Structure 1
Amino acid sequence: MRAFIGMGLLGSNFVRALIRKGEQVNVWNRTAAKATALEADGAKAFANVADAVKGADIIHITLKDDASVNDVLNLAAPGFAPGVVIIDHTTTSAEGAIQRTQAWKEKGYTYLHAPVFMGPPNALESTGYMLVSGDQTVIGKLTPTLSAMTGKLINLGAEEGKAAGMKLMGNCFLVTFTAGLADTLTLAKALNIPVSDIAALFDLWNPGAMLPARLKRMTAGTYDKPSWELSMARKDTQLFLDSAAKGGTQLAIVPAIAAEMDRWIAKGHGNDDWTVIGKDSIS
């Protein structure tokens, strides 16, 4: 039997998927209604988290952050069966994942951090990506269980906390990508370009396809053979800002990018490839 702690959108769909595969699942959530709602799907809801985990071989967690994971696990601990496995899908700090792995091991339990690049539909359909790192013996034993929950289980090796770090890195990219897209839409609005035209452009020209080559160029460490000079990129960046202002709006993240470009130009890199602005991140 499994227990699942944290019945948000992701956790709830993980539970539904497990039940569809014939698993018996106990559930608990701070807001009890979210747990009891899953009884219609076949889960068994509990008001007390320690009662929810009693008899469970594996306990899954999908909570908010390090503090909530620590608090809820401490509350649940009186109900732990000897040798129970705790699998935490929460996005947390790498330090927190490392600390919990050691702390629960010292108490006789297995804790594995397994964050995901999965939305609620992925959790329900067992698609998307799940990350793990750390004790390879533990991961080897749990691979069949975890692989059944996701489209791709990515084992990042023996380093504790690496899965947490890689998850944060991925989310950082998603946040900045979305913020950049928001600025793109804001600029389009200022220029009276409809969203349908933007979508049509990206159907024909996919800038996402440039990511591997851009990453390779940025991390190569050489910037003296530019494909786009930093000074020219800065000129275009000013056009973004000016056009948005004339359209009566303001960009959110481009001003910070412009300031970073100015910093590198002041250091004498105006004629280098514009990817030089990422130099400090790799050195």
Structure 2
Amino acid sequence: MTSAVPAAPQRPVVAVLGAGIMGAAMARSLLRAGLEVRAWNRTQAKAAPLAADGATVTDTAAEAVRGAHVVLTALTDTTAVAAALTAASDGLHRGQVLLQTSTVGPDGAVELAQRAADLGLIHLDAPVVGTRQPAEQGALTVLLSGPEAARPVVEPVLDAIGQRTVWAGEEPGAASRLKLVVNAWVVNMVGGVAECLNLAEGLGVDPRTFLGLVKGGPLDSGYLQAKSAAVLDGDLTPSFALSTALKDTRLILDAAAQAGVRLDLAAASAARFERAEAAGHGEEDMIATYFAGRAPGRDGD
């Protein structure tokens, strides 16, 4: 049975479980908005820098969530979120709102909703659209589904981390289904950018000539220019890590198979990500899929 939704506090205390690229950025956005933040990460060294921004960095997940109004999870996958909730269980209390921002897919969202219910938590499926820079700027788009009565509790949190919230309904996993559609577009775009750069290189065409040709026209996009620049400048600092993109692409393909939909481009993107990851590019930005299209012996590693 779902727990009753508590009255909305004016300034909720937020426990952030997960201090990777997205979790740390969202924690800083919450702090800038004047909210009290407790941060925990399984590897504490990742969370430690948040102390300088004003967060309370805790040794355990249970310490982080104890007394918090909102528990925000920003972790890799369903397994990691479930493990964090288990680690936090001694500090959780009935009626807390779980704002689950990780991309876990529809099945994962339903599984975590049930896990939350078992712990007496109110689950909101809240995957976010955006990478490092919008997360650092508090400019994410939050996709939200779950009990609408819980929205007032998390409104200050949503306002701090995002510029827009898209309500997808109350059904568990509704927001996660929408997120997979968004991510299908993203992985196909990044694969298209990588393949254009690969072809230009293979044909002896200066890729900057191609980029200049389309710049400002209907074929141009900020994504094309930014991801191409990352490759050409050799700066593959992850805004969204390739290994995470591979995980999300597998979620897309699993959901598509269950729905009876064939996604040839997504399957090709997954194959490219797998080759790039095997070549050692998993922790780089996902545009490192570029290396999956280079001729053998030309990777440069």
Over 3 Å counting, the alpha-carbon distance change for 1:251 and 1:108 in structure 2 is closer
Question: Which letter does structure 1 place at the counterpart of 2:90?
Answer: P
1:207 aligned to 191, 215, 219, which one?
A: 219
Mapped partners of 1:123, 1:62: distance in 2: 12
What are the within-5 Å matches in structure 2 for residues 86-125 of structure 1? 86-125=98-137
TM-superposed CA distance for 1:113, in Å, is: 1.3
Q: Higher relative contact order at CA 8 Å, sep ≥6: structure 1 or structure 2?
A: 2
Aligned with residue 6 of structure 1, among 18, 23, 44 = 18
Pick one of 184, 189, 193 that aligns with 1:177. Answer: 189
How far residue 133 of structure 1 moved from its aligned partner, in angstroms, is: 1.7
- Hey, what does 2:207 align to over in structure 1? 195
Structure 1 residue 174, shift from structure 2 partner: 1.0
The match for 2:55 is 43
Whole-Å separation in 2 of the counterparts to 1:143 and 1:41: 22
Question: 2:89, 2:119 within 8 Å by CA — same for their partners in 1?
Answer: no
Instruction: Report if the CA contact (8 A) 2:107-2:173 is conserved.
Output: yes
C-alpha root-mean-square deviation of aligned residues, in Å?
A: 2.0
The SS at the match of 2:34 is coil
8 A Cα contact 1:187 1:251, kept in partner: no
Letter in 2 for 1:118: G
Matches within 5 A, 1:1-283: 1-139=13-151, 141-207=153-219, 252=293
Unpaired stretches in structure 2, ≥5 consecutive residues: 1-12, 222-290, 294-301
Q: Does the residue aligned with 2:72 lie in a helix, a strand or coil?
A: strand
Distance 1:251 1:100 in 2: 34
Q: Is the 8 A contact 2:15 2:64 kept in 1?
A: yes
Please tell me whether Structure 1 or Structure 2 has the larger radius of gyration of its CA atoms: 1
> How many residues are matched?
212
Question: Larger deviation: 52-61 or 95-104?
Answer: 95-104
Separation in 2 of the partners of 1:91 and 1:25? 22
Secondary structure, counterpart of 2:162 in structure 1? coil
CA separation of 1:135/1:125 partners in 2, compared to 1, >3 Å: closer, same or farther?
same
Could you tell me which amino acid in structure 1 is paired with residue 107 of structure 2? E
User: Counterpart amino acid of 1:75?
Assistant: A
Aligned twin of 1:218? none
Q: Which runs of 5 or more structure 1 residues have no equivalent in the other structure?
A: 210-249, 253-283
